[in-house]
Amino acid sequence: MSLSETALPFDDIRNLVKSMPGPDDEAVRKVKERDAQLTKPAGSLGQLEEIAEWLAAWSGNAPPKVTRPLVAIFATAHGVADEGVSAFPSAVNRQMVENFAAGGAAINQICRAYDVGLKVFDLAVDMPTPSITQEDALDEANCAATMAYGMEALAGGIDLICLGEMGIGNTTVAAAVINGLFGGKAEDWIGRGTGVDDEGLKRKRDAVEKAVARLGGEKDPLEVLRKVGGREIAAMAGLIIAARLQRVPVIVDGFVTTAAAAVVYAMDPDGLDHCLFAHLSAEQAHAKTLEHMGKEALFDFGMRLGEGSGAALAAGIAKAAAEMHSGMATFADAGVSEKSDDEES
Ligand SMILES: O=C(O)c1ccc[n+]([C@@H]2O[C@H](COP(=O)([O-])O)[C@@H](O)[C@H]2O)c1
Ligand SMILES: Cc1cc2nc[nH]c2cc1C
């Protein structure tokens, strides 16, 4: 998937979004048919049955399989982080990239526990984008190129992709993107991120207000993304689009990854049908963002870590859902008695 040299980069991305396929209805039909024969009372696996159908719908595989799941962590730095909007300094970005490589982060342990792959993409982690309160984060060519770079995470036969990110200050950037796309007030979309105090929260509100004011009412999703977003959000938005085109189901993590999803949603309200929202982040604005898009998270563990941690937990659930659907015996195979006739309604 290369960007053509003649068209404007954003036009290429708009064309990709227009060509995104719908679900594979035949695969879903096959999954429902097989599910009805498995050795369990009908409906007894609840939402896990829906997850098996969702995997089939967006991969085209019936029975669905999850053999090469991957957590892609996009790490970058934000100029706005120097404006007192995070509880941590930007130096943590590089330090955490090293921690991921050494296997010492939370995400490493979840990926090991569930046998999920992990790749970290360094998006100029030592070169922050300009502060969104002062300047556009990216120009069009850079934003489109970063989106294209995000698409590369699917290389190598990945069959389930989990979004992850690392970027001090990015809950402020995510809030600005969502505020730019969905409107409302800055304070509707901010939260405590890594744990800012009340003063820090006020600085976040001011930063988001300034950034959104700079948009001057611009509503085009890609323009909002490049002006008040950041590299990880751009890369993840590109990845969501590429995954749909390449028939790879996507698991979204928390608030920051949801900001990338919101960009795609604003381009096409059906554009997130291949995405599962893993968990409800403790970041205050996540619930409101999901509600705005009509999405519901699978679980709420009070997590607010990022780095794809909630998405990786959900990948474990998705793997189990696929294994149950494909590996369980049917009533006929196992010689288990089916529901008695006199119980049928
Ligand atoms: O995505 C979330 O739900 C989330 C909520 C709170 C914090 N984070 C992570 O914490 C960092 C951003 O927090 P902050 O306070 O620096 O804006 C970044 O590295 C994210 O991965 C992520
Ligand atoms: C230590 C630390 C780990 C993280 N992982 C994702 N975001 C993070 C932010 C901090 C501060």
Q: 282-335 pLDDT, tens per residue?
A: 999 999 999 999 999 999 999 999 999 999 999 999 999 999 999 999 999 999
Return the best residue to mutate from 80, 107, 194, 232 for the ligand 1 pocket (most ligand atoms within 8 A of CB).
194
Q: Is the pLDDT of residue 55 over 70?
A: yes
Beta-bridge partners for 121: 74
The pLDDT tens digits for 259-292 are 999 999 999 999 999 999 999 999 999 999 999 9
> Residue 195 CA: which ligand 1 atom is closest?
15
| Tokens matching residue 231 | 């590299």
Measured from the alpha carbon of residue 99, the closest ligand is 2
Predicted TM-score (pTM) of this structure: 0.97
Q: Please confirm, yes or no, whether 307 is among the known catalytic residues.
A: yes
The pLDDT tens digits for 113-141 are 999 999 999 999 999 999 999 999 999 99
Return the best residue to mutate from 92, 95, 168 for the ligand 2 pocket (most ligand atoms within 8 A of CB).
92
In the predicted model, what is the mean pLDDT of residues 198-215?
Answer: 98
C-alpha 55 to ligand 1 mean position (Å): 28
| Tokens matching residue 278 | 């893993």
Return the best residue to mutate from 86, 304, 307 for the ligand 2 pocket (most ligand atoms within 8 A of CB).
307
- CB of 297 within 6 A of ligand 1: the answer is no
Q: Is the pLDDT of residue 234 over 50?
A: yes
- Residue 7: band (very low, low, confident or very high) from pLDDT cuts 50, 70, 90: low
> Do 308 and 164 form a contact (C-beta atoms < 8 A)?
yes
- Residue 31: band (very low, low, confident or very high) from pLDDT cuts 50, 70, 90: very high
| Tokens matching residue 285 | 């604005």
- CB of 87 within 6 A of ligand 2: the answer is no
Given this model, what pLDDT does residue 341 score?
A: 78
CA distance 41 to 151: 41
Measured from the alpha carbon of residue 86, the closest ligand is 1
- Residue 164: its H or E element: strand 160-166
> Do 54 and 88 form a contact (C-beta atoms < 8 A)?
no
Share of the chain above pLDDT 90, in %: 96
C-alpha 120 to ligand 2 mean position (Å): 14
The pLDDT tens digits for 92-104 are 999 999 999 999 9
Share of the chain above pLDDT 70, in %: 97
Is the ipTM here above 0.90? Answer: yes
Given this model, what pLDDT does residue 6 score?
A: 53
In the predicted model, what is the mean pLDDT of residues 188-208?
Answer: 98
Q: Is the pLDDT of residue 5 over 80?
A: no
| Tokens matching residue 115 | 């046998």
Single out the catalytic residue among 49, 307, 323, 344.
307
Q: Is the pLDDT of residue 153 over 60?
A: yes
Q: Is the pLDDT of residue 3 over 50?
A: no
The pLDDT tens digits for 56-91 are 999 999 999 999 999 999 999 999 999 999 999 999
C-alpha distances (whole Å) from 95 to each of 105, 167, 215, 306 are 11, 11, 33, 15
CA distance 148 to 245: 13
Q: How many CB atoms neighbour CB 61 within 10 A?
A: 20
- Residue 239: its H or E element: helix 231-245
C-alpha 240 to ligand 2 mean position (Å): 23
